[in-house]
Amino acid sequence: MTGENNIKWWMQFIKRFRKDRLSFISFCFLLFMIVVGLFADVIANEKPLYIKINGQSHFPALRSMFLGTYDNNIFNHQDFKNAENLILPLVPYSPYNQDIIKNKLKGPFDEQNIVSKRWRHWLGTDDLGRDLLSGMIYGVRYALGIGLSSMALALLIGLFMGTLSAFYGDHGFSLPLHRLLFLICSISIVLFTTFESRYFNWIDAFKNGGVAIIYETSILIGLVLLIWIIEKALLKISLFNKLMKFKLNLPLDLIINRSIEVTVSVPVLFLIISLVAIFSSSIFLLIIVIGLTQWTSIARFLRAEILRIKELNYIESAMALGYSDLRIIVKHILPNAITPVLITVSFGVASTVLIEASLSFLGIVPGNIITWGVLLKGAKEFSAPWWIAVFPGLAIFFTVSVFNLIGEGVSDASNPKLNRA
């Protein structure tokens, strides 16, 4: 399929997807949730968006958003009385504010001890007086953040594994010895740096976000580049050059399929609980473990699709013309095999949201974050506050339903024989 035909097919795909109103509305709602998660700090925060005191202007909520600072000593409510100008967020509470004395366990319809409706807890409070609406907003960030990040990692692994397995099979791939040693050294260095020498640096980076993540990533890239430079230098030595150019034939299809079987047999929840017992609980650990265990279905679907596409005439023509394997895979195979992968990813994110909620409910996630599962956990300790169980439960239900509906919409839109009015 040529590039022009690819564009035409994707335009028809988008048109069919938009006709499925329920799926399209779900996709729009997902975009809305992403915006809420990204801008949670300026939507719900005890710090003002803008405050002017003694002639100086400050933007505390924006500082909290970009720098990740949650210092409650900066601009408390007493400072608001002395402000010359003040703009508060839509929800003037963070999920960490506690009001045990005045508004402990207040329902959304109960009378609340507040100055005005501007400070009302619209979804009520929990047993510590924390605003539930604020916790729901921040829960969007963690639910989508963990779900999308872990499935992005699973997608990268699944695309790589599925493509190698289907395209090369058991007899079509040979690797020079120096390249195999380079891959082994690179993977070992990355794993050691990530989970041993700089493990806590990665945890702090994910808490602070932005520049910190880029800095830690640049260190990993620098180490891999250093290994690559050493490899090139060794190849210039005649003795190493003759030895390292020895090629090994690898049965990739057999290796990858056995890896899939082993990975599928590992229960994700028990694996995470075991790792938390060894390492400290962190969001970063959850993303890595879920990503490393959810790639199998992506690889399987992609493998089956590529095996079908490989037999088509235009792939055989590309091979006969002498195109490189990379060009054939990237330009001709993956664009035509990606649709089943998108369906799998959509359903995968839904299952990941459920996994995150289950782990939060069990208390596996770090105690310093507020997720829907953490909010739901508070409902089992009290019989009266129905709102603590209803609102987080509905949020989890609707989020999972949104991804399932999007997955069904993508599945239907990818079928050109289906014509919906």
Answer whether residue 3 is part of any domain: yes
Same domain for 282 and 240: no
The DSSP H or E segment spanning 43 is: helix 40-43
Q: Which two tokens stand for residue 265?
A: 């047999």
Same domain for 281 and 342: yes
Cα–Cα distance measured from residue 21 to residue 291, given in angstroms and rounded to the nearest whole number: 31
Whether residue 419 has pLDDT greater than 50: no
pLDDT value at position 399?
93
> In the structure, what pLDDT confidence band is assigned to residue 275 with cuts at 50, 70 and 90?
confident
Distances (CA, A) of 389 to 97, 131, 379, 397: 20, 14, 5, 12
Q: What residues contact residue 3 under an 8 Å CB cut-off, 6+ apart?
A: 331
Cα–Cα distance measured from residue 49 to residue 149, given in angstroms and rounded to the nearest whole number: 28
CB atoms within 10 A of CB 129: 18
Mean pLDDT of 178-187: 78
Answer whether residue 381 is part of any domain: yes
Same domain for 192 and 102: no
Return the top range by mean pLDDT from 31-45, 193-207, 353-367: 31-45
Return the top range by mean pLDDT from 103-107, 159-163, 177-181, 375-379: 159-163
Same domain for 383 and 276: yes
Same domain for 234 and 160: no
Distances (CA, A) of 211 to 38, 93, 204: 16, 27, 11
Same domain for 187 and 167: no
pLDDT value at position 77?
57
Give tens-digit pLDDT for 211-266: 677 787 888 888 888 888 887 777 777 666 666 667 777 788 888 999 999 988 88
Answer whether residue 301 is part of any domain: yes
Same domain for 349 and 225: no
Asked if residues 219 and 201 have their Cβ atoms less than 8 Å apart, the reply is: no
The mean-pLDDT minimum among 141-150, 230-239, 404-413 falls in 230-239
Whether residue 369 has pLDDT greater than 60: yes
Mean pLDDT of 388-406: 91
Give tens-digit pLDDT for 129-142: 888 999 999 999 88
Give the CATH number of the domain where residue 416 resides: 1.10.3720.10
Mean pLDDT of 43-53: 83
Answer whether residue 276 is part of any domain: yes
Whether residue 407 has pLDDT greater than 80: yes
Task: For residue 288, report the phi and psi dihedrals to the nearest 5 degrees.
Answer: -65, -50
> In the structure, what pLDDT confidence band is assigned to residue 72 with cuts at 50, 70 and 90?
very low
Cα–Cα distance measured from residue 303 to residue 174, given in angstroms and rounded to the nearest whole number: 19
Q: What residues contact residue 6 under an 8 Å CB cut-off, 6+ apart?
A: 335, 336
Answer whether residue 93 is part of any domain: no
Q: Give the SS3 label for residue 403.
A: helix
Cα–Cα distance measured from residue 421 to residue 416, given in angstroms and rounded to the nearest whole number: 14
Asked if residues 284 and 368 have their Cβ atoms less than 8 Å apart, the reply is: no
Same domain for 210 and 125: no
Whether residue 60 has pLDDT greater than 60: yes
Answer whether residue 68 is part of any domain: yes
Q: Give the SS3 label for residue 57.
A: strand
Mean pLDDT of 318-328: 82
> Which of 225, 249, 273 is a domain's end point?
249
Answer whether residue 146 is part of any domain: yes
Q: What residues contact residue 271 under an 8 Å CB cut-off, 6+ apart?
A: 289, 293
Whether residue 210 has pLDDT greater than 70: no
Q: Which residue has the higher pLDDT, 222 or 198?
A: 222
pLDDT value at position 79?
58
pLDDT value at position 176?
74
Q: Which two tokens stand for residue 171?
A: 């007899």
Mean pLDDT of 175-194: 77
> In the structure, what pLDDT confidence band is assigned to residue 284 with cuts at 50, 70 and 90?
confident
DSSP 8-state assignment for residue 58: E
Number of domains in the chain: 3
Go through the chain and tell me how many residues it has: 421
Mean pLDDT of 307-318: 83
Same domain for 164 and 116: yes
In the chain, helix, strand, coil percent, each to 5? 70, 5, 25
Mean pLDDT of 372-383: 77
Asked if residues 315 and 328 have their Cβ atoms less than 8 Å apart, the reply is: yes
Q: Where in the sequence is the domain holding 228, given as residue range(s)?
A: 175-249
HSE (CB half, 13 Å, CA atoms) of 146? 30
Whether residue 416 has pLDDT greater than 80: no
Answer whether residue 71 is part of any domain: yes
Same domain for 404 and 274: yes
> Which of 198, 223, 249 is a domain's end point?
249
Asked if residues 266 and 183 have their Cβ atoms less than 8 Å apart, the reply is: no
Same domain for 367 and 417: yes
pLDDT value at position 34?
92
Same domain for 298 and 216: no
Asked if residues 47 and 77 have their Cβ atoms less than 8 Å apart, the reply is: no
Residues 103, 107, 108: CA angle, nearest 5 degrees: 110
Q: Which of 201, 234, 239, 240 is nearest to 220 (CA)?
A: 201
> Which of 56, 88, 120 is a domain's end point?
88
Asked if residues 358 and 349 have their Cβ atoms less than 8 Å apart, the reply is: no
> In the structure, what pLDDT confidence band is assigned to residue 317 with cuts at 50, 70 and 90?
confident
Task: For residue 247, report the phi and psi dihedrals to the nearest 5 degrees.
Answer: -105, 140
